Every structure is written in C-alpha cells, then in structure tokens.
C-alpha cells in the first residue's frame, strides 16, 4: 500500500510497497494492480479536498519492467484534471510511465 507521500513544488511523490505476504504475487503481473492503485492515490491527494475523482483517459502508457513489488511514484499535475505518472524501482530504473492520466469528478450518488 501507500507507505509515504509528500509534495515538492507541483509534484506529489509516494513510496508504495505490497505487504510482505503479497510481495510474492508481484511476478504474476506486469504491474501488480495494488501497486498501481496505491501509486495513483498520490494523484488523488492532489485533488481538491472533498471532490472524488475517477480515472478517465490514459495516454502514452509504457511498462518498462515487470514484477515490481515496491516503487517510488512521481505524480505531476499538468492541468486541473490531468497528471503524468512515473513509477521507478529502488534503483531509480523506470517501471511504468504514463504521459497523461485524465480524471473526472464523480458524485457520491454516482459511486452508489
């Protein structure tokens, strides 16, 4: 899950790791869904308080390495509802890059 998060200038950073009992599952995926989900929380932290958002459009996505159980994420806001995302392993080597991820606001009623 999300282990740490901080902001520097207009970027959010996060350290993300699978729990020890799930780390062995990382090799079953290009990128474990829980790692990606936790990394995306750094982008959500940057949204306006109280406004729920959902991912809407992914562009320029590249998976550079598979099986990561821990990453460091950088989420940079490019406009009000769009971020770029870079995930790297402990050596700084890229794991995943997303050129742009657009989000859209969603109401509590829409979430059910």
Q: What's the confidence (pLDDT) of residue 31? A: 92
Q: What's the confidence (pLDDT) of residue 87? A: 97
Assess contact for 75 and 14: CB atoms under 8 A. yes
Residue 41, C-beta contacts closer than 8 angstroms, at least 6 positions apart: 2, 5, 14
Parent domain of 67: 2-111
Residue range 75-100: mean pLDDT, rounded = 94
Instruction: Provide the sign of the torsion angle of the four alpha carbons 28, 102, 42, 60, taken in this order.
Output: positive
Q: What's the domain count of the chain?
A: 1
pTM: 0.86
Alpha carbon distance 38, 18 (integer Å): 9
Whether the predicted pLDDT of 46 surpasses 60:
no
Residue range 56-62: mean pLDDT, rounded = 96
Residue range 36-52: mean pLDDT, rounded = 72
More confident position, 21 or 99: 99
> Which residue from 81, 44, 43, 84 is spatially nearest to 62, judged by alpha carbons?
84
Please, which pLDDT band fits residue 66 given cuts at 50, 70 and 90? very high
Residue range 71-88: mean pLDDT, rounded = 93
Q: What's the confidence (pLDDT) of residue 70? A: 94
CATH number at residue 100: 3.10.129.110
Say how many residues make up the chain: 112
- What is the CB-side half-sphere exposure of residue 1 using CA atoms within 13 A? 2
Please, which pLDDT band fits residue 47 given cuts at 50, 70 and 90? low
């Amino acid at each position: 899950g999300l282990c740490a998060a901080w902001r520097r200038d207009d970027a959010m950073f996060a350290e993300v790791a699978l729990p020890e009992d799930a780390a062995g599952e990382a090799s079953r995926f290009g990128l474990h869904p829980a790692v990606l989900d936790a990394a995306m929380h750094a982008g959500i932290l940057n949204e306006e308080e109280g406004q729920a958002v959902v991912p809407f459009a992914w562009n320029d996505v590249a998976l550079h390495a598979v099986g990561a159980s821990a990453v460091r994420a950088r989420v940079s806001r490019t406009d009000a509802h769009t971020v770029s995302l870079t995930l790297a392993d402990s050596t700084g080597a890229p794991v995943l890059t997303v050129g742009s991820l657009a989000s859209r606001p969603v109401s509590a009623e829409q979430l059910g």
